[in-house]
Chain A
Amino acid sequence: MKVIVCIKQVPETTEVKINPETNTLIREGVASIINPFDMYAIEEAIRLKERYGVQTFVITMGPPQAESALREALSMGIDEAIHLSDKAFAGSDTWATSLVLAKAIEKIGNYDLIICGKQASDGDTAQVGPGIATHLNLPQATYVRKIDSIDGKNKIMRVERLLEDGYEILEVFLPALITVVKEINEPRLPSLRGKLRAKKQAISVWAHTDLGLKEEEVGLSGSPTQVVKIFTPPPRPKGAIFEGEPEECVDKLVEKLKTHIL
């Protein structure tokens, strides 16, 4: 069995600060990390490897520096990494991104399960996972909080999906795609041996030509959506903060909230 994990490198948002003068994000010196939800995707793949002896792959579409994200995944225990890096990919929306990822998955071939994170902490769309599934004509289970079982012989997987007001149990036939939430596991730290291995391991780099894609099918020209403007939201107005006797503070607060609640 083959499991492929899709990961995205994102800025470490803890350090995203707004410059009060220019009202823009200060991103200098902001470290890049693996998208938090994708850590759970990596961990789940490694657990499947330990449980069922599957072969694990990690792929990312991103600029040259995204290689470090792939190495981190390798150091945790993923077997192989592939980097989809090409200037032509810049500006891809979720339609084009999921197309590129789908083509890469097809090229790896013979896969049984694709694992994505629930959503990326920068783009925030949660659209790439289902997008890949659709390009590959695969069934999907989004927001998975648990893989109950995998029946390798009949190729059926049973999962639990986290919904707004409870959870759903679903059976999907493999090959399939899932997106995962935090509840599914707790990601491990890389071992020293893993780190050493990851440092040395060769990583294939694929461009659009390797995927049989035309330049106009990817990047900006392959993207139906266009970002026309980016701005920072107006800062929240300064609040009224009450200090002192609890009873008085509570009275003041209730007075303020009353009209909104009644």
Chain B
Amino acid sequence: MKDRGIKVIKEKCVGCGLCIKVCPFSAIVLEDKLAVIDLSKCNLCGACKDACKFGAIEIFKPQIVDTGVIKDYKGVWVFIEEEEGKIAGVSFELLGKARELAKDLNSEVVGIYLGYNLKEKIPILFRKGADKVIVVDKPELKVFISENYANVIVYLIEKYKPEVFLAGATTAGRSLVSRIAVKVHAGLTADCTGLEIDKERRLLIQTRPAFGGNIMAQIITPNHRPQMATVRHKVMKELEESSSSVGEVIEENLDGEFIDQRVRFIDFIKEEGYKVNLADADIIVSGGRGLGAPDNFKLIRELAEVLGAAVGASRAAVDSGWIPYSHQVGQTGRTVSPKIYIACGISGQIQHLVGMQSSKIIVAINKDPEAPIFKVANYGIVGDLFKIVPLLTQKFKEILKR
């Protein structure tokens, strides 16, 4: 290996095995009292290097070169996402976070707002933390098509050179920003739950869950700009609305070449019957196989209604045909992180947990005291959901006067 990869310095290794314990990928074994790293398992994360007390592990990472080009990049950009003609909540959350980051970078917060007939919605962005808003207001951008939006934003990035670029880790955000990152040759960190600035190196330290939230990774992009991240909703705090809504609006008037003729929007069919969707919900009430029959989802919906919550489900409930797949939470469904997640008649298998274990408060209702869901629950009731859920609905109705 040349100047890349990982190496154990044989002279320094004492065979203590500390590195083996900390390796999240079980990539290290001891052979003849020496640590040996299996490169096919190793992810070069550096946990072993940090743990080694003898400086016996070397990792060759590409050097951080302070090229002049990087210095030209300035400003913290936030992609403003539209959701049925309104600005998505996650965009406000990101403006709030961007304010903090911009302060540490001694820089400004810029909203990137694409769509049609946006004018009236711009002032709120200033009240929520933006210093500037770059607007591209065109009928062709009325519907979100990731190719078209990516073309426009790539143009803007090349023109204005932002230092940091943030977007919500939504279906739109993830599909869009992955395209942009490849085009502008930038690093992109997915689904972040923590963002900080290393002031000295002007680096965005991005923290994100992986392996279904079983591990957290810290990621940086030293040599490329902008430093791009998608961010999980409901994690960052939006700012209180300030009264001064002044800021600079930059209207960009591009010509039509950014439209990709190979993609055509035909229709959007909204899912009926549910007031709140899983992504936006502060509270989610979920039902599992314990409900026993499709009609019993009524109990879940009633509690959700009173709480202003969204309705989730385990895969067992979805596969039984009790509720559409769009409500499935877990490894092969959606990942959610609401303030409160109430699991009713869900056992809490790992594939379900990975989709909801980063919720702030987890409540479990299950008749089996041994059910694994209780291990992650902040609060729980052992008992029959057919008794407990209606009681909860009634109690909250009284308290909330709904």
Contact = CB atoms under 8 A, between A and B. Distances in A.
Interface of A: 13-14, 16, 18-19, 22, 24-28, 36-37, 63-65, 87, 90-91, 93-95, 98, 121-127, 129-131, 133-135, 139-143, 145, 158, 161-173, 176, 181-183, 219-221, 223-233, 236-237, 239-243, 246-247, 249-251, 253-254, 256-258, 260-262
Interface residues of B, number: 116
Contact of B220 (A91, A171, A225): A225
B339 A260 contact: yes
Given A16-B350, A139-B260, A250-B381, A134 B396 contact: no
Interface of B: 4-5, 21-26, 39-47, 50, 60-62, 83-84, 146-147, 150, 170-172, 174-175, 178-179, 181-183, 185-191, 205, 209-224, 260-271, 277-280, 283, 307, 325-326, 328, 331-333, 339-340, 349-351, 354, 357-358, 361-364, 369, 374-384, 387-388, 391-392, 395-396, 399-400
A163 B351 CA distance: 21
A22 B21 contact: yes
Contacts of A95: 181-182, 185, 187-188
A141 B266 CA distance: 13
B45 A182 contact: no
Given A236-B357, A241-B377, 17 more contacts: A13-B354, A16-B211, A90-B40, A95-B181, A131-B179, A158-B266, A162-B325, A165-B279, A169-B266, A181-B332, A221-B4, A224-B185, A233-B215, A236-B376, A239-B376, A240-B380, A251-B395
Contacts of A243: 369, 381-383
A236 B183 CA distance: 40
Given A37-B332, A93-B187, A142-B175, A249 B269 contact: no
Contact of B263 (A18, A87, A131, A171): A171
Contacts of A98: 182
A86 B400 CA distance: 61
Contacts of A226: 61-62, 187, 219-222
B187 A224 contact: yes
Grouping DSSP codes into helix (H, G, I), strand (E, B) and loop, the A interface class, with mixed when no group exceeds half, is mixed
Contacts of B181: 95, 127, 131, 224
B283 A166 contact: no
Contacts of B387: 246
A183 to B, nearest CB: 4
A167 B392 contact: no
13 contacts: A24-B24, A24-B47, A95-B182, A165-B279, A227-B218, A230-B218, A231-B47, A236-B357, A237-B378, A241-B374, A243-B381, A246-B384, A250-B381
A130 B358 CA distance: 26
A27 B391 contact: no
Given A236-B357, A261-B307, A227 B24 contact: no
B346 to A, nearest CB: 15
Contacts of A170: 263-266
B396 A13 contact: no
Contacts of B307: 261
A168 B358 CA distance: 28
Contacts of B328: 182
Contacts of A246: 381, 383-384, 387-388, 391
Contacts of A240: 378-380
Contact of A135 (B182, B265, B388): B182
Given A13-B331, A24-B23, A166 B271 contact: yes
B392 A139 contact: no
